[in-house]
Structure 1
Amino acid sequence: MSTALKRFNGGARAALTTLLLISILLPPVAQPVRAQGGFNLPDGFVQEEVVVGLKLPTSFAIAPDGRIFIAEKAGRVRVFHKGELLAEPFIDISGEVNDYGSRGLLGIAVDPAWPRRPYVYLAFVYDPPEIKDRNKSGARVSRVVRLTADSKDLNKALPDSGVVLVGKNSIARYVGNPDQGDAEPFSCLDENKRPVRDCIANEGDAHTVNMVTFGPDGALYVAVGDGIVNSRGNPRALDIDSLNGKILRVDPDTGKGLRSNPFFDGDPDSNRSKVFALGLRNPFRITVDPRNGRVIIGEVGNQKWEEINIAEPGANFGWPCYEGPEEAASYADCRPYRSGELAVVAPTFAYTHTAQPARGAAIGGDLYLGRTFPPMYRGAYFYHDYNGGVTN
Structure 2
Amino acid sequence: MTHCKNGWLSACRAIAALTALLLLSALTDAKPVRDAPVPNVAVGQSITCQPTSTSKPPPKLPPGFTEHVLFAGCLTQPTAISFNAHKDRVFVAEKGGKVWNCDLAHPTCTLFADLGSEVCNDADRGLLGLAVDPLNDGNIYVLYTTPPATGPCSQNVVTRGQLSLLTASGEKKILPAAAATSQPWCFYYTSHSIGALVFGADNRTLYVSAGDGSSFDQVDYGQLDNACGDGSAFPQGSFRSQGSSSYDDGVILKVTNPGSATQSVAIVTNGLRNPFRFARLPGGTDDLYIGNVGWNLWEAIDHFAVAGQNFGWPCFEGWDPRNNFAAAPQPDYQSTGYCGSVGGITPPFFAYSHTSYVTVEDSRGKTCGGKPSGGGPDQNGSVISAVGFTDGSSTTYPLEFRSALYFGDVLRQCIWTMQPPNNTPQTFARGLQGGPVDLKSGQDGDLFYVDLVTSTVRRFTHK
TM range (shorter): 0.7 to 0.9
| Paired amino acid for 2:315 | C
Name the residue aligned to 1:307. Answer: 300
Q: Aligned partners of 2:405, 2:280: CA distance in 1, in Å?
A: 11
Q: Deviations over 1:83-111 (max 9, x none)?
A: 34556511111111111112111111100
The one-character-per-residue Cα deviations of 1:114-141 (angstroms, maximum 9, x if unpaired) are: 24xx21011111015x425465542211
Partner amino acid, structure 1, of 2:316: Y
Letter paired with 2:274: N
Alignment-derived partner of residue 89 in structure 2 = 67
| SS of equivalent to 2:111 | coil
| SS at 1:64 equivalent | coil
Is 1:125 the equivalent of 2:145? yes
Q: Distance in 2 between matches of 1:58 and 1:101?
A: 13
Amino acid at match of 1:335: G
For 1:99, the equivalent position in structure 2 comes to 121
CA contact (8 A) 2:196 2:276 kept: yes
**Is the contact between residue 170 and residue 201 of structure 1 (CA under 8 Å) also seen in structure 2?**
no
- 1:361 equivalent to 2:383? Answer yes
SS state at 1:206 partner: coil
Question: Which amino acid is 1:351 matched to?
Answer: Y
Structure 1 counterpart of 2:195: 210
Counting only pairs closer than 5 Å after superposition, residues 99-248 of structure 1 correspond to structure 2 as 99-115=121-137, 118-128=138-148, 130-133=149-152, 135=154, 137-149=156-168, 158=169, 161-168=170-177, 197-217=182-202, 218-229=204-215, 231-232=220-221, 233-239=237-243, 241-248=246-253
Aligned: 1:251 with 2:248: no
**Which has the bigger relative contact order, CA under 8 A and spacing at least 6?**
2
Q: Quick one: which amino acid aligns to residue 408 of structure 2?
A: H
Query: Helix, strand or coil for the counterpart of 1:201?
Result: coil
1:257–1:274 Cα contact (<8 Å) kept: no
User: Aligned partners of 1:126 and 1:143: how far apart in 2?
Assistant: 7
Q: Equivalent residue for 2:226? A: none
Q: CA deviation at 1:37?
A: 6.2
Residue identity matched to 1:377 = F
- Helix, strand or coil at the partner of 1:90: strand
The change in CA–CA distance for 1:367 and 1:88 in structure 2 (over 3 A counts) is closer
CA distance in 1, matches of 2:401, 2:153: 49
Name the CA shift for 1:46/1:134 in 2 (closer, same or farther; >3 Å): closer
State percent identity of aligned pairs: 28
Cα offsets for 1:147-184 (capped at 9, x unmatched):
112xxxxxxxx2xx32222234899xxxxxxxxxxxxx
Q: Please list every run of 5 or more consecutive structure 2 residues that lacks an aligned counterpart in the other structure.
A: 1-30, 35-48, 222-236, 320-327, 358-368, 370-376, 417-463
Residue 78 of structure 1 corresponds to 100
Residue 384 of structure 1 pairs with residue 408 of structure 2: yes
CA separation in 1, counterparts of 2:412 and 2:179? 34
The offset of 1:380, in angstroms, is: 2.1
Structure 2 Cα separation of the partners of residues 108 and 281 of structure 1: 20
1:3–1:206 Cα change, 3 Å: farther
Which residue number in structure 2 is paired with residue 274 of structure 1?
266
Deviation per CA, 1:305-360: give whole Å up to 9, x if none: 110111122110010000112211525721123xxxx3100001111101132352
Q: Secondary structure at the match of 2:310?
A: coil
Distance across 2 between alignment mates of 1:105 and 1:84: 25
Question: Residue 336 of structure 1 aligns with which residue?
Answer: 341
Mapped to 2, the partners of 1:139 and 1:255 lie a distance apart of: 29
Following the alignment from structure 1 to structure 2, what is the Cα–Cα distance between the partners of residues 299 and 203? 19
Label 1:69 to 1:46 Cα distance change in 2 as closer, same or farther (>3 A).
Answer: same
Paired residue secondary structure (1:384)? strand
SS across alignment from 1:46: strand
In the superposition, relative to structure 1, how do residues 96 and 132 fare at CA in structure 2: closer, same or farther (>3 Å)?
Answer: farther
Deviation at 1:361, TM superposition (A): 0.8
Secondary structure of the residue aligned to 1:237 is helix
- Aligned pair count? 311
Q: CA deviation at 1:257?
A: 9.2
Measure the CA separation in 1 of the matches of 2:56 and 2:213: 29
Q: 1: distance between equivalents of 2:389 and 2:84?
A: 18
Please say if residues 166 and 255 of structure 1, whose CA atoms lie closer than 8 Å, have aligned partners that are also in contact: no
Output the amino acid matched with 1:131. T
- How big is the shift at 1:288? 1.2
In the TM superposition, residue 197 of structure 1 has moved relative to its aligned partner by: 4.6
Looking at structure 1, the residues matched to 162 and 413 of structure 2 have their Cα atoms a distance apart, in angstroms, of 29
2:316 corresponding residue in structure 1: 322
Give the aligned residue type for 1:124.
Y
Q: How far is the alpha carbon of 1:362 from its aligned partner? A: 1.2
- Give the letter for the 1:315 counterpart: Q
Mean Cα displacement is larger for which, 375-384 or 84-93?
Answer: 84-93
